[in-house]
Structure 1
Amino acid sequence: MKKFLSSQLSIITYSFRWTIIVLPVGIAIGSVVALFLWLLNMAIHYRFLHSWLLYLLPVAGIVIHFLYKLYGRSAERGNNLIIDEIHEPGAGVPKRMAPLILITTVITHLFGGSAGREGTAVQIGGSIADFFAGLFKLNPEDKRLLLTAGIAAGFGAVFGTPLTGTIFAIEVITIGRMQYNALLPCLIAGFAGDATVAAWGIHHTAYHIDVVKTSAEYYSHHLPIDLLLLVKVIFASALFGLASYLFANATHAVKAFSLKLIKIDWLIPVSGGLIIIGLTFLIGKTDYLSLGVEPQHPGAATIVSAFQQNGADLFSWLWKLIYTAITLGTGFKGGEVTPLFYIGATLGNTLAGFLNAPVSLFAALGFIAVFAGSTNTPLACTLMGIELFGGEHAMLFAVACFTAYFFSGDSGIYTAQRKENDKIENGYWDRLFGKYKR
């Protein structure tokens, strides 16, 4: 009994200590993310009213390049630096990372670059968490936990998904292993960040899945399952995984090719900006610039429109993939996740037409599954489906995210991710089919 009471007291002390540490961190991160979202919204709508700003994208690229050259130093590595610091604390996360990524992301979107906002929020979270770790004089192990909580706060705040932010933070660090001792700090940070953004009056985009009508239902022990629909979901999710693989490798390839081909480094973002301008003239529409959440003109393909019949073109997903790979691969700043939402939702819209499947459901499945495959975080993305779209299709969310995760290969958008276990055991296929070999 004495041992049990001592254990309970330790739990209470641990919880109280981390609440005191994490709450101000989450509130600070949430406040900066709220400022970022407000500035980003202003920048995007200003460009909507002044389309000529796109022509200055190459100049914006030069400004971003020299800002990082003069002030960025290690901050140039972005999310990967934070992940490395969690694995092996070193020089720390520079304090300049938060203002630098905030400013340069807003510049990218103001002039039409195709990027996201998750990377910015995560870097804001990591930079502020590192500052507080020094302020509180935390030991290396506690600093790791606080940096992980900073990721949760940034992610939860920028998308309005605190539970997803919690699981994402502990799942993204290492493929195949989750850091459960970070669960409580991440949970507190995720909710504090999200609540702070809401308190500042910042609202997130709402998505809706229409009622799904099925011709035949087969019942499991608890959940209704349409077997034909399930087969369609698995097939589509395999393609979502391949899209994840294509996106991750395209972004890395553009960066490697640019560095090899262009010897004057500031010309790399200039070339990226010129290509984006040229592509926009070539296809005759601005749908694939910036976030892709709100339409610049009526009828534009956006993430929201993808949830409707005929809400995306046949290759909207591919164009967005190309635009984003060029933008990020040539040095512009922002995140990858919102473009991944766009790629997934519009690909889901296209596949729904071919498979005679519910459009809004498949857009939602693509939304979370392409993200899951690109970041190797199927649990977090399953939870994101529930937080954003409700729990009615939770099983299909899980099927989509885990299928995409397996089909996305070993690569991902975060090169600093470490791998504890292979997605499929080494030698599995050799053993399975070995008897057929001669």
Structure 2
Amino acid sequence: MSANPSMAGLMHLRPKLIALVVLMSAAVGCACAFFLWSLDEVTTVRFDHPWLVWFLPVAGMAVAWLYHRHGGSSDGGNNLILDRIHDPGGGVPRRMAPLVLFGTLVTHLFGGSAGREGTAVQMGGSIASAVARRFQVDADQLPVLLMAGVAAGFGAVFGTPLAGAAFAVEVVVIGRPKLWALPICLLASYAGDWTCRAWGAAHSHYHIDDVAGSMLAGLGNAGMLGKVLLAAVAFGLVGWLFAALCHRLSAGLKRWVPDPVWRPAVGGVAVIVLFLIVGRADYLGLGVRSPDPHAVTLTSLFASPEIHSWAWAWKLAFTVVTVSSGFKGGEVTPLFFIGAALGNALAGVLGAPPELFAGLGMVAIFAGASNTPVASTLMGIELFGAGYALPIALSCGVAFLCSGHAGIYRSQRFALKKPFWRRPV
């Protein structure tokens, strides 16, 4: 049977599919609420006990051993979800959800620089696959349920349901979004987000000063337009750099350290070395908040006009080492930090509003690294307001075009070739 259900097939199963999507999305929303609460708790514990970072290599080995002995195909992570959308095969293992939840919390408890989107997406895919098996959903209908699970997880964990739905249909095949699944993904993303919020889960809030918006004047100012476009090129190139470094370091570690249990130990030691070089804990963990009022965090990049010229490079280094060596969690929130910090640095060079360029960088670098410009644009609008839609769309579109074909998700397929870049093999 075809892996891509037809519209007629969706219409035929609409009542059952809608019921299953609502049930699945509620479960994913509950899981994401628990995850966000747990993540906040373990982050607080790390702040209170900074010595925990010294045990990062051992903690990474413990999680790697757990995956090696009991994870099966779960170690495929986000790429496994995308592979199953392309070809349902055996579905997604139920064990993926608890394993990635535990692994991500361990990463953040001991200071690994990773994200949270990977956890939400994998929990969504795992729960969706479990619902499909329990209620005997046909194999050709599994892809849409998996995309709904991705939408529910992404929308719930970031509090951006429009972006969650767009991400699910856009990320699978670049240049050919699966629009037939958009209504189902919208339902799933909103249901997951609503359930997560109903539990009182807190999301980070970012604000761009209205004064910065007035300077744009609809981007009619040629000077400001040029600055935005120049910054967007930089966001795309750094997004490409991030993905390329992750892939190359991961491949190198697999050659140099054949035993997967030892790779996180090597990565954990490297993170500690970086921490000792920097001498600050700003680039450990998620990077959204810190008890140190002088620390560089994702929220501080919007709250302070101070310029931090190299914060983006340090966070990139910490995250590439963490993710490439096998720690769990994902890349997106660190990418937000890298993009916001790069925007802050570029604002200092170009004489632009730091908080505006931090916001543009935050979503544009995600657009470039994940090859999802539409989802990233919608996320920017949901986070910062429709008044910034034009500069956000321009930044995300240009960053996407400038980011090459590397991408943080290896299982993405391409239906187009970006200009000036060699098509991926």
Q: How does the TM-score come out when normalised to structure 1?
A: 0.91
Is the Cα contact below 8 Å between 1:15 and 1:184 reproduced in 2?
Answer: no
Q: Is the 8 A contact 1:344 1:368 kept in 2?
A: yes
In structure 1, what is the equivalent of residue 349 of structure 2? Answer: 354
Aligned partner of 1:88: which letter?
D
1:119 and 2:114 aligned: no
Distance of aligned partners of 1:175 and 1:77 in 2 relative to their CA distance in 1, 3 Å threshold: same
Partner of residue 293, structure 1:
288
Q: Secondary structure of the residue that 1:212 maps to in structure 2?
A: helix
Query: Displacement of 1:427 after TM fit?
Result: 10
Match of 1:382 in 2: 377
Structure 1 residues 426 and 48: alpha-carbon distance in aligned structure 2, compared to 1, 3 A threshold: closer
Indicate the residue corresponding to 2:211 in structure 1. Answer: 212
- Of 292-301 and 110-119, more deviation after overlay is shown by 292-301
User: Is residue 37–residue 201 contact of structure 2 (8 Å, CA) maintained in 1?
Assistant: yes
1:329 counterpart (324, 335, 338): 324
Q: What per-residue deviation string (whole Å, max 9, x for no partner) do you get for residues 291-321 of structure 1?
A: 0000141210011111144545211101111
Change (3 A) 1:227 1:24: same
Q: Is structure 2 residue 234 aligned with structure 1 residue 235?
A: no
Q: How does 1:20-419 map to 2 (within 5 A)?
A: 20-212=19-211, 223=218, 225-311=220-306, 313-419=308-414
CA contact (8 A) 1:287 1:296 kept: no
The 8 Å contact of residues 156 and 193 in structure 1, kept in 2 or not, is answered as yes
Q: Deviations over 1:141-167 (max 9, x none)?
A: 211100000000000000000010000
Please, which runs of 5 or more residues in structure 2 have no aligned partner? 1-7
| Alpha-carbon separation, structure 2, partners of 1:57 and 1:217 | 45
Distance 2:246 2:421 in 1: 27
Instruction: Please state how far the C-alpha of 1:124 moved relative to its aligned partner.
Output: 0.1
Separation in 2, partners of 1:147, 1:324? 27
Cα deviations across residues 347-394 of structure 1 (Å, max 9, x unaligned)? 001101111111111000000000000000000000001100001010
8 Å CA contact 2:57–2:268 kept in 1: the answer is: yes
Identity among equivalent positions (%) equals: 48
In the TM superposition, what is the alpha-carbon distance from 1:262 to its structure 2 partner?
Answer: 2.4
- Give distance in 1, aligned partners of 2:344 and 2:378: 21
Is residue 34–residue 202 contact of structure 1 (8 Å, CA) maintained in 2? yes
SS in 1 for 2:71: helix
Cα RMSD after superposing both structures: 2.1
Please, which moves more after superposition, 223-232 or 236-245?
223-232
Determine helix, strand or coil for the equivalent of 1:69.
Answer: helix
Displacement of 1:216:
7.8
Letter aligned with residue 293 of structure 1:
V
What is the CA distance between 1:322 and its match in structure 2?
0.6
Deviations 1:200-231 (A, max 9, x none): 0111011100023589877xxxx563221111
Give me the whole-angstrom Cα distance separating, in 1, the residues matched to 2:182 and 2:422.
33
Question: Residues 244 and 374 of structure 1 are in contact (CA less than 8 Å); yes or no, is this contact kept in structure 2?
Answer: yes
Residue 256 of structure 1: CA displacement? 1.2
Q: CA deviation at 1:16?
A: 4.1
Partner of 2:4: none
Q: d(CA) in 2 for partners of 1:134 and 1:424?
A: 42
Amino acid aligned to 1:384: M
Secondary structure, in 3 states, of the residue corresponding to 1:89? coil
Worse overlay, 174-183 or 255-264:
255-264
The letter of the residue matching 1:225 is G
Counterpart of 2:359, as a letter, is A
Q: 1:424 — aligned with what?
A: 419
Structure-1 residue corresponding to 2:3: none
Q: What amino acid does structure 2 have at the position aligned with 1:188?
A: L
Q: Partner residue of 1:431?
A: none
Contact in 2 for aligned 1:372/1:404 (Cα 8 Å) = yes
1:114-140 superposed Cα distances (whole Å, 9 cap, x missing partner): 000000000000000001111221112
1:78-118 residue CA offsets vs partner (Å, 9 max, x unmatched): 00001000001112100000000000000000000000000
CA distance in 1, matches of 2:143, 2:151: 13
Equivalent-residue separation in structure 2 for 1:408 and 1:426 (angstroms) = 9
Q: Are the structure 2 counterparts of residues 70 and 232 from structure 1 closer, same or farther at C-alpha, using a change threshold of 3 Å?
A: same
Alpha-carbon contact 2:213-2:388 (below 8 Å) kept: no
Please, which runs of 5 or more residues in structure 1 have no aligned partner? 1-8, 429-438
Shift of 1:19: 2.4
Matched positions, count: 416
Give 1:307's aligned amino acid.
Answer: F
- TM-score normalised to structure 2 length: 0.94
